[in-house]
Chains A and B, each alone.
Chain A
């Protein structure tokens, strides 16, 4: 069974703080993804990574950066958190392929005050 875990379920931070969200998968997946989920906007891709140290911008990368130093771990970094980054953040992973399932983590509800 694929397991994708995220470091926190709930997180409260202050404006201007540096925030780290961590995601770990245990199935040796090459691809990892960070999404944010907002009501009425669906799942929007922030960044994804198809290999260690490789990353590609998604649809809404502004204000975020990522790090993938090990295959199983993908971190999302908010350099200077702002209130408009209050959201649910979902990590996902998948094998490489033309049509393969993405497995999601439980999500981190981030509130920026």
Chain B
């Protein structure tokens, strides 16, 4: 099955700086890579995703890049703000007979300091 590794496990940045979180996956057949944000005490929510036919996608201050050859993808947050503090999970969609199964990374605790 799919295996997703995520680094770093914790990341501390100053407000206004950029943050980068990196993930690698093992199954070259995986074709969909979402990122979820989980604020303290709340449920995970999708913030951005990328499909395997695209190399980069941006949405305001967040962007995701995908390198299919190297099997890694990254989340970039620019001009970080205190409300960006949360746990971020990357995931990869694994092809299975039943459909939409995601394998998640172990999460990155991002702290944006004032």
Contacts and interface: CB of A to CB of B under 8 A. Distances in A.
A96 interface: yes
Given A54-B98, A98-B31, A98-B93, A104 B45 contact: yes
B31 to A, nearest CB: 7
Question: Among the interface residues B1, B96, B104, which one has the most CB atoms of the partner chain A within 10 A?
Answer: B104
Give the interface size bracket for A toward B.
20 to 34
Interface of B: 1, 6, 9, 31-32, 34, 42-46, 49, 51, 89, 93, 96-107
A31 B99 contact: yes
Contacts of A100: 100
A58 B101 contact: yes
Question: Among the interface residues B43, B89, B93, B103, which one has the most CB atoms of the partner chain A within 10 A?
Answer: B43
Contacts of B103: 45, 59
A56 B46 CA distance: 23
Nearest to A45: B101
Contacts of B89: 42-43
B32 A102 contact: no
Nearest to A102: B102
A29 B93 CA distance: 18
Interface in A65-113: 90, 94-102, 104-107
Contacts of B31: 98-99
